Amino acid sequence: MQILTGFVRSCAVAFVALLVPAVWAGAATVCCWWRGSPWSWFAPLLWAAVLTLLLTRPVGRLFRALVRRFSGTDIPAGYREPGPVTKLSTGYWWNGHSYAKTRERAQEEQRWRTWLTDPAVRRDLFFVAVIPFAGLVAAVPGAALVLAVVLRGWWLTGIAVAAAAAPFAWRVAEPAAVRFLRPSPAMRLAERVDELTAQRADTTVAQAAEIRRIERDLHDGAQARLVALGLSLATAERLMKTDPDKAAAVLREARTGAASSLSELRELVRGISPPLLHERGLIDAVRAFAMDSPLETTVHTELRLSGDTGPVGGSALGRRRLRLDLPIESALYFGVAELLTNAVKHAHAGRATIAISRDDTNLVVELQDDGRGGASVAPGGGLDGLRRRLAVFDGTLEVTSPAGGPTRARMTVPCESL
């Protein structure tokens, strides 16, 4: 079975790696056999060059897919994405470099400009020039088997060579792909700059939305109650001399309204920045939120993420400060709050479990509920917003939610200080 699997993989790697050389071999064959004008060789070579340009990116993608499937190594592509186009008041579309009358034309020009200036294109061209050498190695089992069929006197030797080389010939694909297909440092830096720019834009939009929410809550809640409180006090002042009993009743209503306003303001402050999170740290704040949740929620952890010092994981190996940066704590806390809220509102769960731990370099928060599942990180949705908020700190969000449940969400944030 290992020989058969290796033979199939070797043939797949050889086919992809030798695809562009096969195009040039076909063009050379046409040039040799096409007896026409002295320039008759030009057309096949021109078509071969055009096909090479068209095949560079598909060959790179196919090779990455084969390496990912065969060895589990994921190699990022590093291609630049075309920027957005904007419609101006004049009716023209601006793509960052030129104007166009239609959106489609502006997007087409933007795609071509991005493709021509993308360093990944030059990387792919170099890759299709050097990868045939790896393809020749991967083609050894198939070539040996073909020779065993053609040269009948050597069939036993050919089969033996194919069987011996099949489990190993395809393995040349991974080092070749890692060496020549991974993004260069300049490409990774440009990709990181684009990612940080998008994250900054997301943060700006999120902050503006949060400010509008706070203004709306203040205007519709506490502000309206305070205005009513002022009117009640003015009414009580007028009634104090003429009808003291009614004035006392109005004051009692005003006191109730003041208590309600204070409660709303506390809830609003808790929604912006929970005091317990500032005072006691992430774990105590998550435990308090879990206690207030309608779900039966259990919190498991061996860490001490507070402002105090204490043994790490219950061990007496040392005592050190384990308080996270407040922005990271806030992102994780509100992430837990959103996941629990979704479990109640959308998944109709009854139980949930929260586990807070760490691996080599990351703080890990895992949440699982027994709801009906079906959650996904859809663009523009709440989970996508949570993913973007964690990405600001180089964090990640992974959600596994098959239909029927359970739903598992895993948030990780790099934290070397733990």
Mean pLDDT of 33-48: 71
Clarify whether residues 7 and 136 are in a common domain: yes
Clarify whether residues 15 and 98 are in a common domain: no
Clarify whether residues 124 and 235 are in a common domain: no
pLDDT for 309: 38
Mean pLDDT of 176-198: 73
Mean pLDDT of 264-287: 71
Distance between CA atoms of residues 78 and 209, nearest Å: 32
Residue 317 has pLDDT above 50, yes or no: no
Helix (H, G, I), strand (E, B) or coil at 93: strand
Residue 315 has pLDDT above 60, yes or no: no
Mean pLDDT of 372-394: 76
Cβ(369)–Cβ(398) below 8 Å: no
pLDDT for 272: 61
Clarify whether residues 300 and 387 are in a common domain: yes
Clarify whether residues 305 and 197 are in a common domain: no
Residue 311 has pLDDT above 60, yes or no: no
Which CATH number is 266's domain given?
1.20.5
Mean pLDDT of 281-306: 79
Most confident residue range from 129-143, 148-162, 381-395: 129-143
pLDDT for 308: 43
In the block, tokens 């997007």 appear at 107
- Picking from 272, 295, 311, the residue at the C-terminal end of a domain is 272
Clarify whether residues 6 and 86 are in a common domain: no
Confidence of residue 267 (pLDDT cuts 50, 70, 90): low
Which CATH number is 316's domain given?
3.30.565.10
Clarify whether residues 280 and 391 are in a common domain: yes
Distance between CA atoms of residues 127 and 218, nearest Å: 60
Residue 268 has pLDDT above 70, yes or no: no
End-to-end Cα separation, the chain, in angstroms: 46
Q: If you ran DSSP here, which 8-state letter would residue 312 be given?
A: G
Enclosing domain of residue 244: 191-272
Total number of domains in the chain: 4
Q: Which residues contact 409 (CB under 8 A, 6 or more apart)?
A: 339, 366, 367, 368, 375, 397, 398, 399, 400
Condensed to tens digits (0 to 9), the pLDDT of residues 91-133 reads: 888 877 788 888 888 888 888 888 887 788 888 888 888 888 8
Confidence of residue 313 (pLDDT cuts 50, 70, 90): very low
Clarify whether residues 355 and 317 are in a common domain: yes
pLDDT for 314: 36
Q: Which residue has the higher pLDDT, 248 or 314?
A: 248
Residue 218 has pLDDT above 80, yes or no: no
Instruction: Report the chain's C-alpha Rg in angstroms.
Output: 33
**Count of C-beta atoms within a 10 Å radius of residue 253:** 15
Cβ(340)–Cβ(351) below 8 Å: no
Mean pLDDT of 21-40: 74
Distance between CA atoms of residues 308 and 214, nearest Å: 32
**Count of C-beta atoms within a 10 Å radius of residue 136:** 16
Mean pLDDT of 193-214: 63
Clarify whether residues 282 and 268 are in a common domain: no
Confidence of residue 39 (pLDDT cuts 50, 70, 90): low
Confidence of residue 319 (pLDDT cuts 50, 70, 90): very low
